[in-house]
Structure 1
Amino acid sequence: MEASNFPYDVTDVESQVSNEIFKATKPLPLVYVGPKRYIFPEMYKEWGPQFYNMEIRPDDIFLVGFPRSGTTLCQEIIWLLNNNLDYKKAKSIPVGERVPLMDFSLVAFGGETFKNNNSPVLQKLEPYVHKLRTAPSPRFIKSHLPLSLLPPKLLDNNKVVYIARDPRDAAVSLYHLMELKYLKQGTSFKEFWNNFIAGRCVVCPVQSHIREGWEKRNNPNLLFLSYNELTRDFPSTLKRMATFFNKEYTNDQIDELCGHLSFDNFKNNESVNRSSTYHKLGYVNNENPFIRKGKAGGWREYFDDEMTKEADRWISEHFTDIDLGIDPK
């Protein structure tokens, strides 16, 4: 796809910033994208225009959210609600194939590290954005890109679910996902958090990402959800999601779906927990699984008093008008 079809400037991130973000022996080359200066691996130069200009179909359903915001849970929900709660089929096909992350190669691996890797696992996963071109309809598509970097006419006709999570919880979860693969051994969460709120982390700034979703909340084709809301009241949120997709399910069916999605069942469901794939890629291990705790407010276990006060100020500055369903206690 020609760069002329892409409206945003893409510039290289300074090497010292890249070194600070990853604190690794060989930091990934990074780029800033657009006026909000979203950070992505430098392969965005190649992939970004393809995502922005991808051909969408009227019956495509998109799931969008910042990494570690409950998107895996929403993948399962969205697919089941739109496939007559076919649990048998859902368990037989990995959720990453039923609802592929189209920018997987970009946000999960980044740059030449991914492009030149001969791992059979990577070779199988890399072409998802290309596979979508010939995938049968309806297509269910997940993305960690902000709305502004997705096809500009997406909300004209397509259903989009945007899931947002308390950034403190998202940061904790992202830290654990990155620490084995990308962070220098011994990097503290406090160091990571300071970079995170400064926008010096992949897919950040998170406040801009979430605000883009929030500002479209009144569009009838977008459903804005908070992870806290979803996990606090599964039945009501699932009914709301079903209505959004023009689906009707009985209370008993919703209760059954709640059981299927309960944390213990979800964590042990091989079609969603991705343990095999992510173990092979070195992102997780037995002590640090892909699906960790699945609860809201877990950030409190990682923040000292100073960090908590600083985080309160940061949340107040950027999210006062955004309903993240955060429990004030």
Structure 2
Amino acid sequence: MSLKSGHRIVPLLFEEAEKQYQHFHRYRTGTIRLDPDGWFFTTPFIIFADKYYDFKFKPSDVLIMTYPKSGTTWTQEIVWTMMHNPNFNNPKATLPLLVRSPPLHFDFIMYGSAADPTAPGTSLHDTFVQAHPNRNPKDGVFLQLAELTEDPRIIKTHLPFSLLSPSLLETCKVIYMTRDPKDVAVSYCHHSKLLKMINFLGSTSDFVEHFVNDTLVYGPFWTHLKEAWNKRSHPNIHICFYEDMKANPKEEILRIHKFLDLDLTESQINKEMSKREDDNIMGSDNEIMNTKILNKDGGFFRKGVTGDYKNKLSEEDIQKINEWTKENTRDMDDEFKYKIK
């Protein structure tokens, strides 16, 4: 079977499928690979793949694109605030972020879970039907939220360029945030244990093994990143490094401000810089998070400390990711922050 993107759906080898079954409880409905490129997804991706490819972007849109756990939410809040709440007086700021800045890709990852928005009786489904009675949730609740959100739309995705409209960069602006892969591995592992729709049951070393073997959903990591990096000269893409944002947030916010061609005052920029603790990402729905992991290791937001992998990964796992990084950055120029020579 081929998708509109030109990718072919390939079943996993038995050994790969068995590891997915053992380690990812919610992925037991199946996982697939898309060739070429090797994109790795749960089977429900097939239902929505062509809808993602056909999604109509507008010139006023800003798409926040990342591999998971690379500073996505932080970037969304910055951009949404700049464009919709520069004076911190927009009453919609109290709404969950997934409503203000919808994740284009969420329908497939939540499909079949306790919070499946296509299933009557779940809070997301019922809220959507009440707000949009003429829409069919089976066409994708989050796809339609992205379509219907107010202009300028700030949309999030973990999907790579090659699975979206080929005219994307000719149509709207894209901000691509990336992060040290070792910190990504730590954060993505916690995230995968926290969210019931993933329910990762293995060890941190098991997760690192999946990471470097490109058997995590939204991977391969390096293919994802390189698709964006190789487009960095295009005027409609802005690449941010998470570490730069942590080290000098005002400078990076000013760079985003310039990229988006905004006209905020110094006072508004300083308000953007003010510290905000915002856990209002998915609302208060306990269908989504594993409370045992939440109480033990923290929730959606944690420290976000650069280099925290040193406290979380074994020396063997650090070396494994470093060797993987070295191999995959040989063809990248020296300005790429994570290149290992």
Q: Judge same fold: TM > 0.5, yes or no.
A: yes
Partner of 1:28: 29
| Contact 2:186-2:313 within 8 A present in 1 as well | no
**Distance (whole Å) between structure 2 residues aligned to residue 116 and residue 45 of structure 1:** 15
| Contact 1:177-1:283 within 8 A present in 2 as well | no
Q: Percent identity?
A: 24
CA 1:145 to 1:103, structure 2 compared with 1: closer, same or farther past 3 Å? same
- Number of aligned positions between the proteins: 317
Give the gaps of 5 or more residues in structure 2.
Answer: 129-139
Q: What's the CA shift for 1:326?
A: 5.3
Secondary structure, aligned partner of 2:310: helix
**Distance (whole Å) between structure 1 residues aligned to residue 97 and residue 337 of structure 2:** 26
Partner of 1:271: 280
| Contact 1:62-1:160 within 8 A present in 2 as well | yes
Q: Please give the residue correspondences for 1:235-246 in structure 2 after superposition, counting only pairs within 5 Å.
A: 235-246=250-261
Q: Which moved more, 1:284-293 or 1:234-243?
A: 284-293
Counterpart residue identity of residue 222, structure 1: I
1:280 partnered with 2:287: yes
Partner of 1:9: 8
CA 1:111 to 1:25, structure 2 compared with 1: closer, same or farther past 3 Å? closer
Counterpart residue identity of residue 103, structure 2: L
Q: What's the CA shift for 1:48?
A: 0.6
Q: Please give the residue correspondences for 1:1-329 in structure 2 after superposition, counting only pairs within 5 Å.
A: 5-23=4-22, 24=24, 27-83=28-84, 85-89=86-90, 91-107=93-109, 109-110=110-111, 114=116, 117-123=119-125, 124=127, 127-180=141-194, 181=196, 182-183=198-199, 185=201, 187-259=202-274, 262=275, 265-266=276-277, 269-272=278-281, 274=282, 276-277=284-285, 279-283=286-290, 285-287=294-296, 288-319=298-329, 321=332, 325=337
Q: What's the CA shift for 1:250?
A: 3.7
**Distance (whole Å) between structure 1 residues aligned to residue 94 and residue 34 of structure 2:** 38
Q: Which moved more, 1:20-29 or 1:62-71?
A: 20-29
Give the gaps of 5 or more residues in structure 1.
Answer: none
Q: What's the CA shift for 1:310?
A: 2.2
Secondary structure, aligned partner of 2:239: strand
| Contact 1:91-1:270 within 8 A present in 2 as well | no
**Distance (whole Å) between structure 2 residues aligned to residue 140 and residue 327 of structure 1:** 30
| Contact 1:161-1:225 within 8 A present in 2 as well | yes
Counterpart residue identity of residue 76, structure 1: E
CA 1:178 to 1:270, structure 2 compared with 1: closer, same or farther past 3 Å? closer
Secondary structure, aligned partner of 2:271: helix
TM-score by length of 1: 0.87
Per-residue CA shift, 1:126-160, capped at 9, x if unaligned? 51202334444322211110111111100013111
**Distance (whole Å) between structure 2 residues aligned to residue 281 and residue 63 of structure 1:** 22
| Contact 2:33-2:39 within 8 A present in 1 as well | yes
Per-residue CA shift, 1:97-116, capped at 9, x if unaligned? 11100111223x24577477
Counterpart residue identity of residue 158, structure 2: H
| Contact 1:39-1:201 within 8 A present in 2 as well | yes
Q: Which moved more, 1:124-133 or 1:292-301?
A: 124-133
CA 1:315 to 1:4, structure 2 compared with 1: closer, same or farther past 3 Å? closer
Secondary structure, aligned partner of 1:280: coil
CA 1:148 to 1:59, structure 2 compared with 1: closer, same or farther past 3 Å? same
